[in-house]
Amino acid sequence: MSNIWKIMSSSRAAEPVFRSGNRDVPLKVVRSARAARMSLRLAEGGAVVRLTLPRRAPLAPALLWVESKRGWVEGQLAGLPMPQPVEPGMAFSLAGQNVVLDWAEGRPRRMKRDGDRLITGGPRDGLEGRVLRWLRAEAKRMLTEETARYAALAGVSVRAVGVGDPVSRWGSCAVDGTIRYSWRLILAPYAVMEATVAHEVAHRVHMNHGRAFHALVQALLGRNPAAERRWLSAHGKGLHAFGKG
């Protein structure tokens, strides 16, 4: 298992903490036997900056190198959307429809969708976790239904459908027929969810991204998914900012 440290010190040279707006983003140092050289990148949706080092690389010169990259890192952070914490009264998109989080402490904790309102209650403490769990469950329900629909169109079987919270991909299809999606697709327009499902179901026929694969995606979807790909490219980082404070 990789050892992970947060660099904590009062000195800027020993504590690379990166700043963008009102955000302070800490450095995580990860030592990896597979790393041939040191590398630096934003991780966890921009919540940390990750420095990966070969297992025996000295730390002090690596921190000096990180400090020399401060301008680049903070420039990258500045391009990220601001975190969007879950708060009572907030409005957000749910499969392309705007909803408002309608919370009152005296109500039951159970989430209930009523038109353009998501109604809930219970203590304010823990509200964010309850909302995110509901969204994840609702995403799995909707994505499971859509996957079954497109699998029937393609004439293929799907072993299981799951949801997670990956940073680098919106869906994946394993050779055993298991398809997994990012639950955050529920925050995108419905057409984006459809296009992602068609993409992953098409992998049940073609485990590649060749011409036949793209032709099948377009046939299943009934349109070219280029617009949906552009939307995810432009707005995907905003989806990852939801629920983070």
As a whole number, the mean pLDDT across the chain is 90
The answer to whether the CB of 52 falls within 8 A of the CB of 61 is: no
Residue with the larger pLDDT of the pair 245 and 229: 229
Q: Please say whether the dihedral angle defined by the alpha carbons of residues 63, 68, 70 and 72, taken in this order, is positive or negative.
A: negative
Which tens digits make up the pLDDT trace of 124-148? 999 999 999 999 999 999 999 999 9
Which tens digits make up the pLDDT trace of 83-99? 889 999 999 999 999 99
Within 10 angstroms of residue 25's Cβ, the number of other Cβ atoms is 22
Which tens digits make up the pLDDT trace of 18-30? 988 778 889 999 9
Find where tokens 């995108």 sit. Answer: 188
Which tens digits make up the pLDDT trace of 62-81? 999 999 999 999 988 888 88
Which tens digits make up the pLDDT trace of 158-188? 999 999 999 889 999 999 999 999 999 999 9
At residue 95, the pLDDT reads 94
Average pLDDT value for residue range 32-51: 88
At residue 245, the pLDDT reads 64
Q: Which of 26, 75, 21, 85 is nearest to 51 (CA)?
A: 26
- Domains, the chain, in order of start with CATH, read 4-78 (no CATH), 133-241 (3.30.2010.10)
At residue 83, the pLDDT reads 81
At residue 8, the pLDDT reads 34
Considering the entire predicted model, what is its pTM? 0.77
Dihedral in degrees, nearest 10, Cα atoms 69, 72, 74, 78 = -170
SS (H, E, C) the chain: CCCEEECCCCCCCCCCCEEECCEEECEEEEEECCCCCCEEEEEHHHCEEEEEEECCCCHHHHHHHHHHCHHHHHHHHHCCCCCECCCCCCEEEECCEEEEEEECCCCCCCCEEECCEEEECCCCCCHHHHHHHHHHHHHHHHHHHHHHHHHHHHCCCCCEEEEECCCCCCEEECCCCEEEEEHHHHHCCHHHHHHHHHHHHHCCCCCCCCHHHHHHHHHHHCCCCHHHHHHHHHHHHHHHHECCC
Percent of the chain with pLDDT over 90: 79
**Largest alpha-carbon pair distance within the chain?**
61
Q: Which of 201, 199, 206 is nearest to 224 (CA)?
A: 199
Which tens digits make up the pLDDT trace of 187-209? 999 999 999 999 999 999 999 99
Q: Say how far apart CA 149 and CA 220 lie, in whole Å.
A: 10
Residue 1 has pLDDT above 50, yes or no: no
Strand partners, 242: 84
Burial pattern 43-60, b for ≥16 Cβ within 10 A else e, equals bebbbbbebbbeeeeeee
